[in-house]
Structure 1
């Protein structure tokens, strides 16, 4: 019999830790209950896994309390305009990260960094801080600690896990306990299924609220953001950011699912020690089919100039050409400086730098014919 968690002590502890009481609404409680129920019922919850989620949940609740108070103290934050953000969406393992990473090299862009979006988010540093942000080292140490326990994960995640690297903006939606990384990283199937069907309106309100906080003291011309979870919430995202510019990444879904199931299996082994590969191979593709179907329906309504398609094969073989096409489509200047920065980064960070990610469909129990049938609606559009 594993450890069992309940939600109220987390709320009480966050209030005690922060000395604050206003969470900016209680809409987070539904997602918190779903997450805790998933931890209690989908896993035989051991001390290590429970400790990780206890720390993470408490930090998120403290973030909400502190951000709510910060905005009360500085109401001008609400006036920050999030103008025409670039938001990269697509199935996991289709090139969302490398697209964001290259675009984030543009001095005019603003992006979320892992250290500022995963831990304490408030308050933001001044424009010219007098010392390095102390969160950088703690973030670096945490990520290196993970890789020391499971070195093969560096080859899977690579640039996803650098303290100063680009972060998925679902870290902001996590303040409503909407985050696909938890279900994928620990095989929390029921939480993942809830994500596939829940109303994400409030999550995007927090997404915007936190972008305003970050932009308040560290502004730039436009945001470059990414998260595959937006496939499920694209309609709500566009209501929040009507002028958003969408980059849609594409890859053979069979290849994406093989890579994704391998990722989920290896992370689950690390975080829980209770990996069930056949169950993952059945659950994971079915979940992302739902998200992709939903996003493609929304995509039909977008103006041509509002969306651009990028293909994984092009990104892999011709990354600079792919970037130029994105910039041209959205009428963003592609300067020699930007191009050189991208080229230098690619020279300094070859894919092999992060290790290899070897995965075999048959060993994972993934049937190519089944995936072809599942994703037939998508393959017919490519």
Structure 2
């Protein structure tokens, strides 16, 4: 593995292969960027790709390429597209600030004291920026999780985990505020009479205050999303049960749906009212403007072209076929509803399900695959497998 000897060499290689690095970065969430695709970008010059791999800018994983983690993290932080929330970095900055403050107060040499002061100011600037960025990333992750995560259980677990992250960020914001405004470090702030430090502290307080208010809004948002999930889960379960009873023609006998509907006078059940405009005979007889308007409407709706309908040929013997073929199809919707009402895994359920006719093992495997492809959103896919008749299948349960 080679290392860059200077910044000039680093910038030269990154600039020369910026097209390839940009494309891989834009597709970083695609788990497989093929080596052959990278060759097409660099005009099939393998030396260019080999140079990036030797300098650890890219990593080769079989037939695929990935950007190295340190470069990927650098690009995401600079472009502010990092979705990972790192609260430990703020804590490390706070510990670094405290240590440098102690070094500053104990140091007698002015030149070394200035170096400690410079490190303290840099750490304060980083702390404010990281706090704001973590809050922005937290809000974006919450929105993406609620809108894009299809699995209910995973969505709920992710939101609860993000709420823990919110508590961690809130605690670190309070620790930073105590460090800046508390009495413990006031000796340093009174001793270090530096105008730039004062401006940094004022800006940091504003950033902390903004983060604090945004974290309160994020907490309300998480609570709202979790309540929505709870409501939607209960509603979907009721709808699923009603749909199953309807398919089994047991909705009226096993529920009080008729009583509920008869007692509900919601506006949605009312017919749409019609308000016809009836003109009086006196107005029609004495108002010429009304007559002109009626004539315009009649002319607009009048069509002078009469279409002649073609008559079909009486001799239809050529279109009639005496041979018929009956095909018995399996109702996948009914099979899915019966499976969701039980607790067995999908493959064992299909083996014992009554299809109304004999079903072979191969047909059962086909129905298994069709159900997964059409109704995977309603199933809970595990990572366990079983084997039957030399066929390995995944264990799937109702959601």
- Taking structure 1 as the reference length, what is the TM-score of the superposition? 0.25
| Structure-2-length-normalised TM-score | 0.24
Q: With CA pairs under 8 Å and 6+ residues apart, which has the higher RCO, 1 or 2?
A: 1
Structure exhibiting the larger radius of gyration computed from Cα positions: 2
